[in-house]
Amino acid sequence: MEYVINSENNIKWLTYPILEQFKEIKHFTSLKPGGFSYIHNTNTLNMGFTDNDLKDNVIKNRELLCKTLGIDTQNMIFSNQKHSSNIAFVNSSHKGKGLYNKNDAIDNNDGYIFLEKNICPIVLTADCAAVFIYEYEKKICTLLHCGWRGVLNNILKEALLKIETIGGSKSNIVIAISPAASKCCYEIGEELFMLFNNKFEDIVKEFIETRNNKYYFDLGKCIYYYLINNERINPDKIQNAGLCTICNSHLFFSARASKGITGRMASGLLII
């Protein structure tokens, strides 16, 4: 099993068994149902400040999720994500950044690396993947926002280098990849296919499929095969949720499925 769907207080969230075996950490990916936002004619748990939702609803959703999971809301840390390879070293001085106001979030940042307990960095997604990396010997947590741009910008490589920089090892990590846009639905153009074909020629067939002369991209598989093939991570140490965010719109926010008018799921990782 690559994921577990949990529910309480009329909201749902995913957990990943590969991370659940480590009792010193807590993690989650929030899902769409429940909450205070009203998007697509239903109550939703939108976790991101978006143009089509009220700020107060988002704050109430963040409080509801934290209350449900037994996390202090004030420990959350948010970023203004830019599909970069920037990964911030975070600590307790970052607590609350971006919680009530987008302007004080960590700017131009798409990942976190940390060793401190009780801080809860958050990645927001709607078709992109959240990638959880845990180095269980040195207890180093890393959480990434990763779309196709992130892969091309080498955010995965950057994360593994940073883990090694602070004394961790690639051989002592486990990785969970959240649901993301998948090849059943995610059509891409020739130009993007060529970019991946040039850069990842030996694995491109694992994550881009051709149907009726069109290209379909699988983000979770792209990340999974990159980690195995290019970073030599043991496949037994990686769990790819393998769920498509575009065609499971009852569970997920999807930028593609809703043509932009959507909310965000929140993925979080913390040491307890």
Q: Is 247 in the site for Zn ion (CB under 5 A)?
A: yes
Burial class, 63, CB count within 10 angstroms (exposed 0-12 / middle 13-18 / buried 19+): middle
147 or 168: whose CB is closer to Zn ion?
147
Task: Single out the segment in contact with Zn ion by CB under 5 A; choices: 17-25, 133-141, 213-221, 245-253.
Answer: 245-253
Look at residues 256, 175, 160, 240 and name the one whose alpha carbon lies nearest to residue 206: 240
Near Zn ion by CB under 5 A, which window of 44-52, 91-99, 150-158, 242-250? 242-250
Collapsed DSSP state (helix, strand, coil) of residue 161:
helix
Near Zn ion by CB under 5 A, which window of 12-20, 61-69, 83-91, 246-254?
Answer: 246-254
Q: Where are the beta strands (DSSP E) in the chain?
A: 4-8, 11-15, 25-30, 33-39, 42-44, 76-77, 79-80, 87-89, 106-107, 111-114, 120-125, 129-135, 140-146, 173-177, 187-188, 208-211, 214-217, 238-240, 265-271
Give the CB-side neighbour count of residue 13, counting CA atoms within 13 A. Answer: 26
Q: Is 241 in the site for Zn ion (CB under 5 A)?
A: no
Cα separation, 63 vs 61, whole angstroms: 5
Per-residue binding string, Zn ion, 188-227, x by CB under 5 A, is: ----------------------------------------
CA angle 157, 192, 243 (to 5 degrees): 70
Please, what is the minimum distance in Å from the beta carbon of residue 182 to Zn ion?
5
Interface residue with Zn ion, options 99, 122, 246, 255 (CB under 5 A): 246
- Which among 92, 88, 54, 87 is positioned nearest to 76, based on CA atoms? 92
Which residue in 119, 159, 160, 244 binds Zn ion (CB under 5 A)?
244
Shortest spacing between CB 130 and Zn ion, in angstroms: 18
Task: Determine, following the binding rule CB under 5 A, whether residue 184 of this chain makes contact with Zn ion.
Answer: yes
Contact region with Zn ion (CB under 5 A), list: 68-76, 155-163, 199-207, 241-249: 241-249
**Between helices 219-229 and 155-165, what is the axis angle to 10°?**
50
**The two structure tokens encoding residue 222:** 């792209």
Check residue 76 for interaction with Zn ion (CB under 5 A).
no
Report in angstroms how near the CB of residue 178 gets to Zn ion at its nearest: 15
Distance CA 80, CA 226 (A): 25
Would you say 159 or 246 has its CB closer to Zn ion? 246
| Per-residue binder mask for Zn ion (CB under 5 A), 158-177, x = binder | --------------------
> Any contact of residue 185 with Zn ion (CB under 5 A)?
yes
Q: In whole angstroms, how close is the CB of 216 to Zn ion at the nearest point?
A: 9
> Which positions touch Zn ion (CB under 5 A)?
184-185, 244, 246-247
